[in-house]
Amino acid sequence: MLGIDWLKIVIHFVVFAVLAVGLYLLLYKPILKFIRTRQENIQKGIDDGNALKEEGQALKEEYDRKLADADADRERVIAEANAQSEQILADARAKAKEETAAIKQEAKRQAEAEQAAAKAELKEDAGKVAVDLAAAILEREISPEDNERLIIECLDAWSDHD
């Protein structure tokens, strides 16, 4: 029948089946296992990379937050230092004004005391001069009452001229 040897076909088919089973067992399974292992390693690398990326992002956010906190702290410290320096300057100005006022007050008090002492001395000297002058004019002895009256009149007259 057409020159087909069925025995050869069956033998070729058996050989092909044995070869296919052999190749499947010797090559396909190990290659499939290698591919799966490779896929798992790649997926693990991707997962590790994503985890590292997320960790890096978290660290960057923490760094940015700490940097912002440091900037805020720096600004706060600068503001406090400025406020303290202004307070120190204000205190120094107030103290200087107080000291200036005290010095002026003391100078005024001393001037008034010196003026009062000068007036008293002038009154005393003027009184003596007036008594001596009156005694010379009157050539007589003046009583203490007359002396006192003349001094008061003289001082009143001089006070009106000041």
Please state, in angstroms and rounded to a whole number, the distance separating the CA atoms of residues 46 and 52: 10
Give the amino acid at 127. Answer: G
Q: Could you tell me if 135 and 142 are in contact, meaning their C-beta atoms sit under 8 angstroms apart? A: yes
Of residues 155 and 118, the one with the higher pLDDT is 118
Place of tokens 């001393």: 110
Contacts of 123 (CB under 8 A, 6+ apart): 151, 155
Residue 140 DSSP one-character state: S
What digits encode the pLDDT tens for the residues 121-162? 877 777 777 666 666 666 556 677 777 777 777 777 766 655
Which pair of structure tokens corresponds to residue 133? 């002058």
Helices vs strands, H then E, count in the chain: 3, 0
Please state, in angstroms and rounded to a whole number, the distance separating the CA atoms of residues 20 and 17: 5
Residue 46 DSSP one-character state: H
Which pair of structure tokens corresponds to residue 153? 């009149």
Share of residues in the chain with pLDDT > 90 (%) = 57
What digits encode the pLDDT tens for the residues 49-64? 999 999 999 999 999 9
